[in-house]
Structure formats: C-alpha cells, structure tokens
Structure 1
Amino acid sequence: MKKLGIILALFLAIGSILGACGKKEEQASTSKEADSKDTSYTIKVANYYAPDHPQNKALTEKFKPLVEEKSGGSLKVEIYENNKLGGEKDFYTAVRNGTVEMGLPGMIMQADVPKMGAIEWPFLLRDFKHAKAVLDGPVGKELTDELASKHGVHPLVWSANGFRMVSSSKKVASMEDFKGLRLRMPNTPVFVQLGQLLGANVSPMPLSEVFTALEGKVVDGQDNPIGVVRSSGFYEVQDYILESRHGFTPNILIINENFWKKLSDKQRKAIEEAAKEYSDYEWKLSEESYEADKKFLEEKGMKFITPDDKFKKQMEDAVKPMYDEYYKQYPWAKEMVQKIKDTK
C-alpha cells in the first residue's frame, strides 16, 4: 500500500509539472502571437483635387480598399480631398513634418530638389504613353532619389494630372493674344517663366484661390489640364481653352519617411502593392477622361482652340531660353532632357 501511495504521488507530481509546462508554452505562444500582430494605424492622405477628379476616384476605388484589405485591417485610410488639410504647400509641409502621413502633391519640392521640376519643362513629353514610360522607368526613379534625404518623404508612385492648357475669358489663338493676358500660373519657377516668355502677365497662386480670382476678374485665365477645369468648375467663369499642351504635370504619392520606417514589412508591402494599382488605374482614367471632359466643357459653352503647326512652333521657340538657362545652371540638365526624349 505504501508503495502504491508513493507511485500515485509521483504520477500526480509529474502531471502537475507537465501541466505547468503546457501552460507556459501556451502563454509563450500567445505572447509570441501578440508580438507578431501589426500595430494599427490610420493613414491620412491629403490632396488638392475635387472628389470626382480621376486622382480621388483612384484613391477611393483602389488605394484605400486595397491597403485596408492587404494589411489585414491593421491600416485604415482616410482621404482628405479638395484642400481639406490646406493647399499644396500646407499639406506637403505636414507630410514632411509627420502630422499628416501621406500626400499627393505636384512638383512643389522642385525649389529644393531641382531635378523634380525637369518633368514639367515645356513641350518635353509627347503624350500619355511617353509620360508614363518616363516616370515608371529609370528616369522617374532618378528624379526622386533625393526626396527622402532632403525632405524626409518616401516616394511611392507617380500618377498623372495631365497636359496643361490655357483656359481664359479672352480668346487666345495667337502669340499676340498672350500679350497683356493676366494669367494665373502655379507658384513654381518653370511655369512663371513659361507664362512670361509667352508674353502674359503672370500671377502665381495656389489652385485653391483660382476660382475666386477668375470669378472676380483678378486674372483673365489660368493653366491646368482640362480635368481640373471641369472638376474645379472653372467653366462657370471661363469661355475658351487653348489646347497648347505646353507642359505635362504629374503627381507623386508620398509618405512620411519616419512613419514608413515604423510600419511592418507586411504593411509596407500592402501600401506598395495598393499604390501600384492606384497609379495604373489613375493613368488610365486620366487618359480616357480627356475626350469626355472636352465634350462636357463644350456642352457648358466653352470653345476649344487647337493651335496649328505655326502657332505651336512659335510657342516652342518662345520658351527656348528656358532650356539654354537650364543647361548652364544644371550640369545634369542636357543629359536628363535627352534621356526623356529617348524613352519609348
């Protein structure tokens, strides 16, 4: 009996030890699982486009749902369109500072990163296909190489705003018509100089102020792709569009560098994959929307002026001094222009 009691006691002791080990393993497993779970974040994405612009359609229909799905719900995306978080300068600064996680600026950074501005140099890109090939290839990567080190933002993908044209309350059908035209341009050196060389009196201002300036006749016209003319309602206060295609403006989807580094590999992959799908979709929407936008604006009473070859050449000749200046100022400029022209 004594032996039986000792054996029973041993079995109970062993069972207790095994139970304790199992509990520790379970706790360790639970702890490990908790450690591997991604931290949840809400990502604010700021831009200056109207809600129905191709940029916001692509952000809403592709980027937001794909990030949330691919991150397993650990990332939530909130889109702040139409200057809700301030104009381009405001929200770009906020992304740099990290108070806003992501943004979709134009080339506002070119004052500090001059290469970024090269893509907007006049009459350089031929069409949407050429523009996408340039920006999605080695040139696009080279343009963004200094963004993280100089501005603390991580570039994700390029997208299209489109080819810029002049909308105006006065007809512009010749070089003579540019003389004295009070023309709004973005507050970037390339566009200010371009407008001046064409003969206009240039008033730089952010997009958020343009409608009021046009309505109040502070300016006679402005330059933008026609998708912006439609989505921002400029057709209500403008009569003409000159299809000058004098420059191409892209956007770049950026994320604060420090925030980017905090994300897990899975979260970064989710954002990169969603960004690629957003970009491809947005390029498609932008290119396809041109004819639809043109038809809409014509129905609203706007008259389109297509420059003939002579007028086109006159505009191109007028801005040649810009290239002479760039080639003197930037050692990389001539090679960059040639790389862009050679891209197929």
Structure 2
Amino acid sequence: MLRTATAALFASAALVTAATACETTFKSADTHPDGYPTVEGVKAMGRILEEKTGGRLCIEVFHSAQLGEEKDTIEQTQFGVIDINRVSMGPFNNIIEATQAFSLPYIFRSLDHEHAVLDGPIGEEVLAAFSDHDLMGLAYYDSGARSFYNSVKPITKIEDLQGMKFRVIQSDLFVDMVAALGANATPMPYGEVYSSIQTGVIDGAENNWPSYDSSGHYEVAKYYTLDQHLMVPEVVVMSKATWDKLSPEDQQAVQEAARESVAIERELWAASEKESEEKVRAAGVEVVSEIDKTPFIEAMVPVYEKHVSSDALKDLVARIQATE
C-alpha cells in the first residue's frame, strides 16, 4: 500500500513539474470535436512549439465549441481573451475582404490548385491582411470540399434545390450562393443544425465528409450530393495582443510550428475524409456522385458580380484563377 501511495505521489509530482515547465500556455479554440483533423493539427502545432522552445511555450486546445461558436471566438481572439483560434474562412468574409476570394464557389479547380494558391505568395498576402484586424494569420488547414445534404430528396440537378431551406455559415457570400441556386439560406450556429434538420426548421445544410459524419447530420439528412461547390480553407490565427507580447524569437517559433503542423493536418484530413465517406455510405446514406456542375457554375455569375466588386478583389481572383 505504501509503495502504491509513494508511486502515486511521484507520478503526481511529475505531472506538476510538466505542467509548470510551460512559462506560457496559449488558449486555443476549435468548434470541432476532439480527434477532428483541425483539432489534432493545432495539438501537433503545440507539440512542435514545445519542442522548439524547450517546453516554455505550450498550447491547450479547447475543442467542441467549449469557448463558443466561431463568430464569438473570433471576437474573443481579437480582444486577446483567446490566444489561438482555428476558424473556417467563411466567418471572416464580412471582416477581411481578401478572405472572400477563397470562399467563392468553384474558385479552386482542384485540391492541388488550392494548395498551390495557399502555399504561395497569394496565400501569404491574405494571411498578412489579418494583422489589420487585431489578428495574426499563421497557417491554412484543409477542410475538403463542401456539398449539399438534406432530409427530403436526392439532389441530381439544380432544379431540385428550388425552395429548399439550407443552413449556411453566417456570411453574406454563402447566403447569396444558396439564393443564386434557387434555395433559401438560413444562417445559424453549427451546433443548432442537427435539431433544426430533425424538426424540419431547415431541410439540410452543406459541408464536407468529416463534418457531415462527426456532427451526426447524416443520421437526419440521408441525401448527400457531391456538387463540391466550395473548397474553403480553414485558417489558424493568433491574437495580435498575444503575438505582440512575444519576443521575435518566440514569434518565429510560433510561426514555424504553425506551418509545420500543416502537413500533419492535411494527412489527417485525407484519412478522415476517406473514413467518413465509408462510414456514412455504410449507414445507408444515398450519395449522388455524378452531377453536371455546369448549370451550378453558371448560376454563380451574379454572386461573383456582387462580391468581387473592388479592383483589389478582382485582381486577386484573376491571380488565383491564373495559378497553375
């Protein structure tokens, strides 16, 4: 008994030592559940950062919207209440104009095209734009392609969308995209989607395979159409208030840790996407894989005309489209 108690005492002391080794622990937010690729990506960033700083700087990830939905956590990060935040690009569309380019329907031709843009000078340019809004853009994470799913019927053509009600991210661009397809957009927090589909408040939503799976939405919306209208990257940001307190060496360590975590998140994302697709198909979800996207793309013309209005944004879109 004494030996067990002594062992427990040493184990407890070791935990205290490990906890106190970090001079600074950054609070990080994510709406997704534990184990989700973006959550694990930031955890990997934390491990890399600890290694780079000899354990001085650590990251504690608060997953599952423990610190609030994305809109709320963005504001908290701007105020310095939250240090690091993993957020979809969508909610930034009304805050930072340049982010709208990455949220345009069909702006990316493929995953390879998206990576070429994000990993190049255009990606750096957009990250730099966050600094004017009390945030530091650190890195981009994958989030796959978003497609429509619903509880009513399989969507095989654009006409099938007429009059249907879909949840969208709280962004004017997303609202206009759905409206251009003839459907009704309903902005609402992610956490309310399941019950809203279940009770008929909305017919469905749009998201990628892992989100469709991890949220359980496939249980109440059993029709999934691979129209892949959006490939919106995730972004990892740090509060500028937190950033400004760091030494140049620690700023570099944070930046490098974020960038090095990207490859890990992308690998996890690809595996998660495959696993989620297999799971929901096995659960009896009807998947529409073959669809003519041409009418969908043509319907986006007024969306581009409305949202790509400034000369700066037009130039950015043109450079994205010209990227090989």
Normalising by structure 2, report the TM-score. Answer: 0.89
Is 1:66 the counterpart of 2:48? The answer is: yes
State whether residues 158 and 250 of structure 1, in contact with CA within 8 Å, keep that contact through their aligned partners in structure 2: yes
Shift of 1:52: 2.4
For 2:82, give the aligned amino acid.
V
Is 1:318 the counterpart of 2:299? The answer is: yes
Residue in 1 aligned with 2:65?
83
Residue in 2 aligned with 1:135?
118
State whether residues 97 and 313 of structure 2, in contact with CA within 8 Å, keep that contact through their aligned partners in structure 1: no
For structure 1, which segment, 115-124 or 39-48, has the greater mean C-alpha deviation from structure 2 after superposition?
A: 39-48
For 2:298, give the aligned amino acid.
D
Q: Quote the RMSD (CA, aligned, Å).
A: 1.7
Match of 1:146, SS state, is: helix
State whether residues 71 and 266 of structure 1, in contact with CA within 8 Å, keep that contact through their aligned partners in structure 2: no
State whether residues 210 and 276 of structure 2, in contact with CA within 8 Å, keep that contact through their aligned partners in structure 1: yes
Counterparts of 1:1-344 in structure 2, within 5 Å, are 40-60=23-43, 62-107=44-89, 108-149=91-132, 151-170=133-152, 171-308=154-291, 311-327=292-308, 329-344=309-324
% identity of equivalent residues: 28
- Mapped to 1, the partners of 2:184 and 2:128 lie a distance apart of 35
- Mapped to 1, the partners of 2:116 and 2:203 lie a distance apart of 35
State whether residues 67 and 270 of structure 1, in contact with CA within 8 Å, keep that contact through their aligned partners in structure 2: yes
Q: Which runs of 4+ in 1 moved over 3 A?
A: none
For structure 1, which segment, 48-57 or 114-123, has the greater mean C-alpha deviation from structure 2 after superposition?
A: 48-57
More helix by share: 1
Shift of 1:39: 8.7
- Mapped to 2, the partners of 1:173 and 1:39 lie a distance apart of 54
Please identify the structure whose Cα radius of gyration is greater. 1
Structure 2, gaps ≥5 residues long: 1-20
- Mapped to 2, the partners of 1:140 and 1:55 lie a distance apart of 18
Deviations 1:52-85 (A, max 9, x none): 221112223x212111222111112110111100
Shift of 1:297: 0.8
Given the superposition, is the C-alpha separation of residues 39 and 243 from structure 1 closer, same or farther in structure 2, using an over 3 Å criterion? Answer: closer
Match of 1:289, SS state, is: helix
- Mapped to 2, the partners of 1:146 and 1:218 lie a distance apart of 37
Normalising by structure 1, report the TM-score. Answer: 0.84
State whether residues 22 and 58 of structure 2, in contact with CA within 8 Å, keep that contact through their aligned partners in structure 1: no
* Count of aligned pairs: 302
State whether residues 147 and 154 of structure 1, in contact with CA within 8 Å, keep that contact through their aligned partners in structure 2: yes
Structure 1, gaps ≥5 residues long: 1-37
Match of 1:161, SS state, is: coil
Given the superposition, is the C-alpha separation of residues 192 and 132 from structure 1 closer, same or farther in structure 2, using an over 3 Å criterion? Answer: same
